[in-house]
Each structure stands twice: as structure tokens, then as C-alpha cells.
Structure 1
Amino acid sequence: MAVSMASPVCLVDNGPDGCMRVQQEALQVLEQIQQPVVVVAVVGLYRTGKSYLMNRLAGKHTGFALGSTIESKTKGIWMWCVPHPSKPGHTLVLLDTEGLGDVDKGDSKHDTQIFSLAVLLSSTLVYNSRGTIDNRAVEELQYVTELAEHIKVKSCDAARDDSEFVKFFPSFIWAVRDFTLERKIDGQDATEDEYLEFALKLKPGNSKKVNDHNLPRECIRKYFPSRKCFTFPFPSRPEDVKRLESLSQSELAPAFLEVTEHFCTFVFDQSPVKQLKDGHTVDSRVLGHLVKMYVETLSSGGVPCLENAVVAMAQIENEAAVKEGLEVYESGMVQLTVYFPMDLPDLTDAHQRLNTLATEVFVKRSFKDDDGTHTKSLEEAVNKLFSGFLQQNEEASALLCLEVLTGLSAPLREKLQQGFYTKPGGYQLYCEDMEVLVVKYISQSHLGVKAEDVLEDFLKQRKEESSAILHADDNLSAMDRQICEERERAVMLEQEVKVNEERQRQLEKRMAAEQRSNEERIRLVLTQMEEEMEAQRREAQRATESQLREQAALLQRGFQEKADQMGRDMREAQRRAEAAQQAKSQELTRLLEQQQQRHSQAMAAMREQNQAIQNQRPSRGRGGGGCCIQ
């Protein structure tokens, strides 16, 4: 469901104890949307005009607070969700962060946490600054050098390990505001991107001064998979910047509007959908869970771990996916109960259709169910529900059959009460009335699965009264009575055969339905795991392409040692990726084998039940279908 907010809401703020906390109102908004999200976060020093860019991305002139004084207006992180303008079915989530370096706040730890949150939550990170990208501007981006101390990829990482950040970090945009210089490099005109790359150029050498110069630049180049730069001129006269929010389009400089439009178009077209480690697409619900998890971890003094986040999200989403799949199945089956009793083929067809739909719903939301625990849970729960619906259908059939027989046998009961059959020839009349009753019953349609069972019980219940009438009929000799008793036994034997055959047919239909459901379940699970493996491959390829570009740049500038180290990092990353792919393939094989084993066990139990029915089947007796001599 798409949700368009009229104005931003606070997502994260500081509690009375100074620790960050998540606002429930914002989480409720995310819970309602339930669409894949493109998350764009803006960070930067306070009073640099970050909020204006976010308002423009939202298609508005106002919304996020714009300050006109030296006081920072945005506190914590504010969120604005709007329908994505160029990706139907997606939501654009805009995050405006508290300005960094606020002198009144004086808390660098808090600034680092805000910056880390922006990196963890966004798919595109916009760094907003003023003036030029000089050494001072790069040094002000000190927070990027601390990310390896505040974010971990794997839970087992004891030491600083930032080699895989490029796989999971957002795209990076540097927005330079109030830019007044000419973009020239060595006297030649340069593009905005060339200007950024020139500003991020490393210096040769190993002195402390050189290393301090290179560190933030290396981190930006190493961590972020893509970089883009926009240089904004003054929006109008310098003195009008304070009232930027109230200026009309005609009062803004055409050059400023042109860059702003270009910036918005680029963000809309190029910002990727937010993904977790291993390539799982994040929707608004998962984003809400991530915010809570990361804020709780940071507030407790811990270090957010991307791997742990995936595991925790998978557990939450897989449990919810099982529940959602079951709700789809159960609600669909409940709607059918108004038509009970149903013929078994119709009921099993509905079961198979809804079972497939439930599995599709589960697969759409679930991820990393590597051991098949939740797949198995859904399967067992659906089978349990199906057994319950089968029982309800049988009960409805038995009730209907009993009602039909009660109605059809009313004239016979009335004659019994009047003593109509207690006379010579009465047994013959009784048998004729019973035959008419049975023929009328068999001709009824839609009696359901218990038609033969209920008829068998009915005939057994008539045995005592039939015997009494038989022995009271003076027209019959002892031999005649013996023949009639034999024929009655033959009739009961024939009915018992019919009951067993019907039970066998029903069991075989259930086995066939289970076979089809299992095949479809395996197909869906196989498709899901193949898609997850493909997402991991794309993730690794994206990182490798970025690293190869950086390695080539290092070689071009003479940084052989750094290029060699990057090559070693890439080979190690490739080795880990191949090992992960192999483990995933082995896990998939094991999961499918377990699924097939469970299915085989279920089929074996059904076959055993079928054999028991056949063993109980009596041989067909000879004699007519009636219960009296002709």
C-alpha cells in the first residue's frame, strides 16, 4: 500500500538520558506502506542547507525545517515517505539528519552515530557541504574514517575489517553548495565528477601528514561503490539564502534551479532500492525493524553488525511470512466451508491451489530460510489445517446424509409404528420399502464423502427390526428365513466393500494432491534460493567492479603497494564468495532432500493406510442386491 505523508515525522531523537530512541509514529507509517524502499539520507555540517534538497526531492518547497540562524533546526533524524516518482510500486524514503558539528551539542560520539545510521539505512547517501571540496572540507568528513569502528560486516570480526563495506554501503553523492569557483584542473575545464575525483586524489608517501591526508579520501574511495558530485551556485543573492524556503521559483537563480533539477533527476533515476547483505530487497517494514535494531545497538554502546541484522531480520520476516501464508490458506478454506459437504476432488483441488498461494506468499516475504525450518513449519501447519477441514467436510457430509435418510425413512418408521409389517407377507413389503428407500438415497447428489459410510451404519441399525419382521412372517418357512438371512448378509457385505473402495479412492486422491503440492512447493523454494544466490553474485560483482576501478586508479597514480593489497583483498573476497555459493548450493541440496524425505514418509504412511483398508476388504458375496426372496 502506498502512503504519501503530508509532512515529515521524527524517526530518531534523543531521550532524556541522552540516548537515541525510535519514534513509534514513524514506525507505524513504515508498517502501513509495505513496499520496496529507495532510501536517500542527507548528512553534513549543520546550517549547510541539507533540508532544502530533501524538500525538493519530496516535490515540495517546505516540509523539512529550514533554519535561518546559526542554530541547527533538525534534531535527530526526520523521515518523509512519498511515492517514488519514477519507480511505480516503490516508496521514496527521505531521511534528513541532524547537522554534524553543532557547537551547542559538542558531542562527536553522537555525530558519529547519526552518520553511521545514515550509512546503514540509506541506499543513497548525500553529503552536503558549502564552498569547495578542499582539504578542510574532506577533513570535516572525518566520520567516514570511523565507520570501520562503528559498523561490522560479520559477527565474528574481532578486528577492524572494512574490505567488504563496498558490497553493502550506499551510493555516495557530494553536494557542494554556494560553489563560486571555476571548475578547472591544470587549466582545463573539468566536470563535477572530475572535480570530485581530483579532490579525492591520494598523495604519495608514508609520513603521518600524508597518511592523515589520504585516510578520509581512501575511505570514501574504498567504501562507496559509486560516487557523484553536484556543484550548486548561490540560489540567489547571498543575503536571500536565509529565506530560501519562502523564495518563489522566479526569485531563484536559473543556474541554481538547473543543478537542483539535475540533482533530483539523478537521485530518482539512479538511486537503487535498499538491500540487505546478500541482496534481499528491503521493504518499509524491514526498514522499520532495522532502525529499531541499529538504534538499540548504538544506544547500548554496541557495534551494529550487518550479518546479525540479516539473521535477525530473516527470523522476524520468516515468522511473519509463515503467519501470512497460513492466513491466506485458512481464509480461503474457511470461505469454502459454506459449500460443505464438497466432493473430495473439489476440496483437494482447492487445498492444492490455496497451498500453492500460501507458499508463494511465504516465499515472497521470507529470505535466508537456509535450513528450511520455516518452510517446514508452514507445510506442517497447512497439513494440520487441511486435516481439520477434511474432518469438517466429513462431518457436514455425515450430517446431510443422516438428514436425507431420516426424511426418506419417515414413511417406513410410521408403518413400523402402525404394525403394518407384522402380518403374513410383511417381510416382503418391508424389503420392498427398504429397496425403494435405498434407491432414492443413492440417487441423491452432493451427499459428500460419507454417503457410503452413513448408508452402511443405517443398514446395520435396521438389522434388528428386519430380523424381527422376518421371524414374525408366517408365510415364510424356516428354509425361506435362512435364505433371506443369507441375502441380508450379502447385502451388508456388498455395502462394506463399497465403503472400503470409497475410502481407498479418497486416500488415493489425497496422495495425488499431496504429490502435486510437494512438487509445486519444491519448485517455489528452489526458485527462491536460486534468486538469493543470483543476488549474492550480483552483490559480489558490483563490489568487484568498484574495486577494479579503484585498483586501476591506484596503479595509474603509482600506488603499486596499495593496488597489490587491493588485489589481495579482492581475491580473498572472491574466495569467500565462492565458498558461500558452494555452501548455499549444498544447503539447497540438503533442504530439497529433507523436503523429499518428509514427502516420502507422508506417502509411505498413506500407502500403509491404503494397504490396511485393502486388508480389511471382504470378498464380494454372491446373491442379489435385495434382502428378501422373490
Structure 2
Amino acid sequence: MTSVSMKAPVCLIENTAKNELQVNQEALTLLQAIKQPLVVVAIVGLYRTGKSFLMNKLAGSHTGFPLGSTIQSQTKGVWMWCVPHPNKSGHTLVLLDTEGLGDVEKGDQKNDTWLFVLAVLLSSTLVYNSMGTINNDAVQNLHYVTEMSNYIKVKSDTQATDDPKELADLFPTFVWAVRDFSLELILNGETISPDDYLENSLIEKPDKNEAYNQPRECIRNYFPVRKCFVFERPASGSKMRRMEQLSDRDLDPEFVTQSKEFCQYIHDNNCRVKIIKGGITVTGQMLGNLIQIYVDTIRSGNVPCLDNAIQALAQIENTSAVQNALSHYKSKMKKNLLFHVDTEKKLSDLHGQCEKEAVTIFLNRSFKDDNQTFQRKLAASIQVEYESFCVKQGEGSEQHCKSLLQKLSRDLEAAVKEGIYMRSGGYQQYKDDLQRIVKQYEESPQKGMKAEDVLLKFLKERDELGNSILKTDNTLTGQQRQIQIEQLKIESMRREAKAAQELQNTLQLKVYDQERTHQENMAQYMAKVEQEHRIALEENKRLLEAKVKEQRDLIDQGFRQREDELNRQIQQLRNFTPPPPPQCVVM
């Protein structure tokens, strides 16, 4: 699987002078070259809050994303940095640093909202970066979450209403990073963890108004899996202006420890691979196409719909998957057919191996091919190519064998024209010369799969000549001549029986090829379905644990009126079973 390691970040989604989003095609090409599964970490937050520093840390570098040392925002649009994942072999870590929210120079709240929405849609872990403490102002600054249902749709049906749970199923893990934190983590006289601090800050209060409770409710509903980290101020004021030049020795030791804990959490298995609806693991190729789909939708003035986006992505990916798999099949067959194969069985075996590899390539990239439309298309295309290879191999072999026999029988044909065999003892000489040609032919290498057919036709064409020579050979008695005639008939019948058997073998081989194609496609398809089911069950378990915890918290907080709804959601998660796979019909 192809990995891409970038030396520095690149702008992925540009914010134009008119605050319109557009995809940087050069960056998109880099992303789409990644065939590995992705862990995508996006960071959002108010401008000038040190987001880029954390992202550089995750990349294992002091520099990369521009930090800046003035009140001006440095990051515009969305910048991307792809590096090999430090803890997940065969995976790529994609870091997305977004333009700071609330930039006074830009002054475009709708543009900020779209950047936040894109960060949510594209990431598997969303880091929200804020300064000071998690107070009411900090929560209110996350007002974007209260508008999510207006900016993201799950269902393509315009009449359908999205359930917040459906969005929660698809949203990333939420990590709140609190910078320059100077308070003691003590609540009611007891030391608490940063996670407890976050959960306490998100408590809804029955005596508070909707403006207070709604953002908290939305954060809890949309991001059931949450984590919090608090960070001391990294250095004194003068040092803060040259953070890129500082090593860990120059920073506050507590801040260094907290940064390492943050990076460890992100790098470890706590942060999942990016998946989309249906439990589909996302590669760089897929994410690149998704980005283009989402940005094009936003630019058109519409709201991104996950069902529509996935359907469009499936069309793109499945079409490319068929092309890639078919190209592999053709390339592998051609490489192994530089010389003629000896038998149809060997060609069939080669076809089977190449087809198996092609199906694997297709299934590794394709998704939501529920009716197996694309898989059937691949199977049909491979069959056409296989038949073409069979024809070409047959024609090539036949031409080669005819030329070989023509060359080997030159002396015999010359002797026939000169009448050398039309004399006493000529028949035995003719038989010996013909047998010598057959022996030389059989010993010649690389004749291909039509070698036997061409030889049988060659010998059959000379039956009449053999009879003529036999009749003119005066050295044979009548009885001896009759014995030779019977032998010629027996040999001719043997050749015809052998040709018929060869034809029967060819027909049986075609049936075998079709059955093998069906079995191979079915086996690999079912293996993929089982893998997707495992992922879906793991995601369901993750959400169930989060909902049970939320239920306990809300009951403790006095929100018993919402207990029924939570119970319904929890029961739904407990009863979850992935839908049965459709019957594999590929032939």
C-alpha cells in the first residue's frame, strides 16, 4: 500500500480573498496518492490560540505549520500534513490545521462555520483548542455545534428528519485542549481529572435557559466520545514569540509532559481510523474525492449530505476499482504469456490466479456495491479479456506449430513431389520419415496449447497420401497391405477420438473456469462483508459505552426527563446487528 510522507504542510483547502473555499489540486493529488487507511486529526479553535504548535508536535517536529508571533492569523483555509503513523504500521497520519475561528480581519461567521463543518466531516479525531478555562464563554464559542443539523444532512430524502444519533455515529472523537490553564483541578475539595473537568463544564442545569444548555446538549449528543487535556503556559512572554526555535529544554517541564500525554493519546489506538457511513475504512484516495465532493457542494450553495456524498464517492471509487483491477489482470496475464502456454489447463490456472488478485484489488477499494453491479462488471470484463487471451494464444500457437511442421516436413514434401515413395518399400520409408517428423515436432519446445490439434490435423491430411503410397508398394502382399490399411483406419479413429476428447476437455474447462470465478468472487466478497460487520460492531460498542456513561451523568444532574430517550438509544445500540449481506450473485 502506497504511503506519502510530506516534508512540510501544504494548503489543502484555500480560502480566497472573497472567503470562498476551493480545493488546491496539487495537495489533492498528494493525498489521493495514499492508498493506506488514514487516521485524520483536525484541529479547530479561535485564532492565535496555538493550534499549529500542537499539530507540529503530533508530526514529531518543532516546525511545519506556521506558528506566528503576532496578533495576525497565520493559517488560512485548511493546511494538511501527511506523515507515516508512528504507532499504526501501514497507516498514514493526516494532520489538518484549520484557519482560526473568529478572525477579526476576516469577519465572516458563515465561512468559519463551513471550516468547522469540514473539520468535522473529514476527521476521525477533532481537537478543539481554547485558552484559559472551560467557562460559559468557552462553551458558547463552540456555538457551531448547535447549527450542525443546518449544515450537515445524513439522508438524501429532503422530507426526512435526521436523528442526532445518526450524526453522532459518524462524527469524530472530540478532544478539548485547554491552553494556558492555570487553575487547580479541584472540585468540591477533591482532585479531579481533566476529563472530569470537561464533563463538569458540560453539565446542563435545569434552572438555566436554552442559550446555556443547548450548546452543552449538542456537544454531548454529537460527540459521545470525549477527552480533555489541560496545558500550562509553555514559556514566558519573550520566549513565546520564538516558539519554533525552542527545544523541550526551553519550555515549562509541566507543559512538555502534558504535550507528550496529548500526543500519546492521539498516536495510540484511542484515535480510530477514519471511517464513513457503513463502516468503510477511508484511504487517501477516498478522502481526496470526499473533499472535492464536499467543497463543490458548499460552493454550489447546498448543504453536504452524507448519503449523497457516499453515493457519489462509491460511484467514483467503484469505477476506478474496476479499472485498476482489470488493468492488473491484463498486465499480469501479458507478463506471464510472453511465451505460449503448453496447455489450456495451464492458461486456465494462470487466469484463475490473476483473476483472484484482481478481485482482491477491486474489493480492497470498492464499497457500497450492494447489488454487486461493479463486481459483476469486473467479472464480465475479465471474462472478455480471458477469452481474448485464449483466442490469441490459440492463434499464436496454431501459427507457430503450422510453421514448425512445414519446416520439419520440407524434405518429406520434396520426396513426395519427386515420387521417391512410389516404389517398392516406399511405404515403410514414408512411415519412418513421417514418424521422424512427429518425433522432432514433439521434442520442439514452446509450441503452445494448440500443438496437439495442429499435429492431428497434419497427420489426418496425410492419410490419403499414405493410402496412395501403400497401394503402390509391391513389396507388400495383399494380406500385409490389408493389415496396414486397417492400422491406418485405427490410427485415424484414434486421432478423431483424441480430438473429441480434447474438445470435451475444453468445454469442461470453461465450466470449471465459470464455477471458480463464482466461488472466488463469493469467498472474497463474504470476507469483506464480515470485516465491515466487525468494524460496525466495534463502532456500536464505542457509542454504547459513551451513551451509558452519559445516562449516568444526566441522572446525577437531575435530567431524568431525558432518561426515556437515552434508554431508547441505549436499547437500540444493544440490539444492533449489522444487516445481512446480499446474496453473492457474481458469475
Please tell me the TM-score bracket, short chain as reference. Answer: over 0.9
Using the TM superposition, give the Cα deviation of residue 50 of structure 1 relative to its aligned residue in structure 2, in angstroms.
0.9
- Counterpart check, 1:234 vs 2:236: no
Change (3 A) 1:6 1:32: same
Deviations 1:585-613 (A, max 9, x none): 2x52xx32x34xx4xxxxxxxxxxxxxxx
Change (3 A) 1:160 1:480: closer
Give, in whole Å, the separation in 1 of the partners of 2:132 and 2:401: 87
Kept in 2: contact 1:164–1:573 (CA 8 A): no
- Counterpart check, 1:54 vs 2:52: no
**Residue number in structure 2 paired with 1:622:** none
What is the TM-score normalised by the length of structure 1? 0.86
Using the TM superposition, give the Cα deviation of residue 422 of structure 1 relative to its aligned residue in structure 2, in angstroms.
3.9
Give, in whole Å, the separation in 1 of the partners of 2:444 and 2:165: 75
**Residue number in structure 1 paired with 2:309:** 309
Give, in whole Å, the separation in 1 of the partners of 2:341 and 2:162: 66
Using the TM superposition, give the Cα deviation of residue 445 of structure 1 relative to its aligned residue in structure 2, in angstroms.
6.2
In structure 2, give the amino acid aligned to 1:218: E
Using the TM superposition, give the Cα deviation of residue 572 of structure 1 relative to its aligned residue in structure 2, in angstroms.
5.8
Kept in 1: contact 2:154–2:162 (CA 8 A): no
DSSP-derived class of the 1:48 partner:
coil
Kept in 1: contact 2:340–2:447 (CA 8 A): no
Kept in 2: contact 1:341–1:396 (CA 8 A): no
Q: Structure 1 residues 252-261 or 336-345, which shifts more? A: 336-345
**Residue number in structure 2 paired with 1:201:** 203
Give, in whole Å, the separation in 1 of the partners of 2:247 and 2:165: 47
Using the TM superposition, give the Cα deviation of residue 494 of structure 1 relative to its aligned residue in structure 2, in angstroms.
2.8
DSSP-derived class of the 1:371 partner:
coil
**Residue number in structure 2 paired with 1:215:** 214
**Residue number in structure 2 paired with 1:621:** none
DSSP-derived class of the 2:117 partner:
helix
Give, in whole Å, the separation in 1 of the partners of 2:84 and 2:326: 30
Identity rate, percent = 45
Give, in whole Å, the separation in 1 of the partners of 2:69 and 2:428: 108
Q: Structure 1 residues 167-176 or 380-389, which shifts more? A: 380-389
Give, in whole Å, the separation in 2 of the partners of 1:443 and 1:147: 77
Q: How does 1:6-155 map to 2 (within 5 A)?
A: 6-15=7-16, 18-155=19-156
In structure 1, give the amino acid aligned to 2:14: D
Change (3 A) 1:441 1:5: closer
Using the TM superposition, give the Cα deviation of residue 90 of structure 1 relative to its aligned residue in structure 2, in angstroms.
1.2
Using the TM superposition, give the Cα deviation of residue 81 of structure 1 relative to its aligned residue in structure 2, in angstroms.
0.9
Kept in 1: contact 2:126–2:173 (CA 8 A): yes
Give, in whole Å, the separation in 2 of the partners of 1:480 and 1:183: 115
In structure 1, give the amino acid aligned to 2:55: M
Using the TM superposition, give the Cα deviation of residue 166 of structure 1 relative to its aligned residue in structure 2, in angstroms.
1.7
Using the TM superposition, give the Cα deviation of residue 293 of structure 1 relative to its aligned residue in structure 2, in angstroms.
1.0
Deviations 1:360-389 (A, max 9, x none): 222222222210112212212222222222
Deviations 1:463-519 (A, max 9, x none): 565566567667789999898767655543332221111222233344335434432
Give, in whole Å, the separation in 2 of the partners of 1:220 and 1:160: 16
In structure 1, give the amino acid aligned to 2:348: T
**Residue number in structure 2 paired with 1:272:** 272
Change (3 A) 1:482 1:195: same
Kept in 1: contact 2:185–2:193 (CA 8 A): yes
Give, in whole Å, the separation in 1 of the partners of 2:425 and 2:261: 104
Change (3 A) 1:218 1:426: same
Using the TM superposition, give the Cα deviation of residue 440 of structure 1 relative to its aligned residue in structure 2, in angstroms.
4.8
**Residue number in structure 1 paired with 2:520:** 520
Deviations 1:46-95 (A, max 9, x none): 11111111111111111111122221111100011111111121111111
DSSP-derived class of the 2:33 partner:
helix
Give, in whole Å, the separation in 1 of the partners of 2:373 and 2:313: 15
- Counterpart check, 1:255 vs 2:250: no
**Residue number in structure 1 paired with 2:532:** 532
DSSP-derived class of the 2:66 partner:
coil
Using the TM superposition, give the Cα deviation of residue 227 of structure 1 relative to its aligned residue in structure 2, in angstroms.
1.2
Using the TM superposition, give the Cα deviation of residue 454 of structure 1 relative to its aligned residue in structure 2, in angstroms.
1.3
In structure 1, give the amino acid aligned to 2:312: A
Kept in 1: contact 2:12–2:80 (CA 8 A): yes
Kept in 1: contact 2:32–2:287 (CA 8 A): no
Kept in 2: contact 1:341–1:394 (CA 8 A): no
Q: Structure 1 residues 146-155 or 302-311, which shifts more? A: 302-311
In structure 2, give the amino acid aligned to 1:455: L
Give, in whole Å, the separation in 1 of the partners of 2:465 and 2:275: 76
Give, in whole Å, the separation in 2 of the partners of 1:411 and 1:293: 72
Please give the root-mean-square deviation of Cα atoms over the aligned residues, in Å: 2.6
Using the TM superposition, give the Cα deviation of residue 215 of structure 1 relative to its aligned residue in structure 2, in angstroms.
0.6
Using the TM superposition, give the Cα deviation of residue 13 of structure 1 relative to its aligned residue in structure 2, in angstroms.
0.9
**Residue number in structure 1 paired with 2:356:** 356
Q: Structure 1 residues 305-314 or 98-107, which shifts more? A: 305-314
Q: How does 1:132-531 map to 2 (within 5 A)?
A: 132-156=133-157, 158-159=160-161, 161-205=163-207, 210-269=209-268, 270-423=270-423, 426-427=426-427, 429-438=429-438, 440-442=440-442, 447-462=447-462, 465-466=465-466, 469=469, 488-531=488-531
Change (3 A) 1:256 1:477: closer
Deviations 1:602-630 (A, max 9, x none): xxxxxxxxxxxxxxxxxxxxxxxxxxxxx
Give, in whole Å, the separation in 1 of the partners of 2:41 and 2:443: 69
Kept in 2: contact 1:85–1:268 (CA 8 A): yes
Give, in whole Å, the separation in 2 of the partners of 1:569 and 1:154: 19
Kept in 1: contact 2:339–2:446 (CA 8 A): no
In structure 1, give the amino acid aligned to 2:172: P
Give, in whole Å, the separation in 2 of the partners of 1:431 and 1:356: 48
Give, in whole Å, the separation in 2 of the partners of 1:67 and 1:445: 73
In structure 2, give the amino acid aligned to 1:529: V
Deviations 1:447-467 (A, max 9, x none): 443233212322343356556
Give, in whole Å, the separation in 1 of the partners of 2:405 and 2:511: 31
What is the TM-score normalised by the length of structure 2? 0.92
Change (3 A) 1:62 1:448: closer
Kept in 2: contact 1:314–1:366 (CA 8 A): yes
Give, in whole Å, the separation in 2 of the partners of 1:463 and 1:340: 29
Using the TM superposition, give the Cα deviation of residue 119 of structure 1 relative to its aligned residue in structure 2, in angstroms.
0.5
Aligned length: 584
Structure 1 unaligned segments of length 5 or more: list them. 599-630
Q: How does 1:481-630 map to 2 (within 5 A)?
A: 488-571=488-571, 578=577, 581=578, 584-585=579-580, 587-588=581-582, 591-592=583-584, 594-595=585-586, 598=587
Give, in whole Å, the separation in 1 of the partners of 2:17 and 2:469: 92
Kept in 2: contact 1:222–1:550 (CA 8 A): no
Q: Structure 1 residues 119-128 or 244-253, which shifts more? A: 244-253
In structure 2, give the amino acid aligned to 1:273: V
Using the TM superposition, give the Cα deviation of residue 340 of structure 1 relative to its aligned residue in structure 2, in angstroms.
0.7
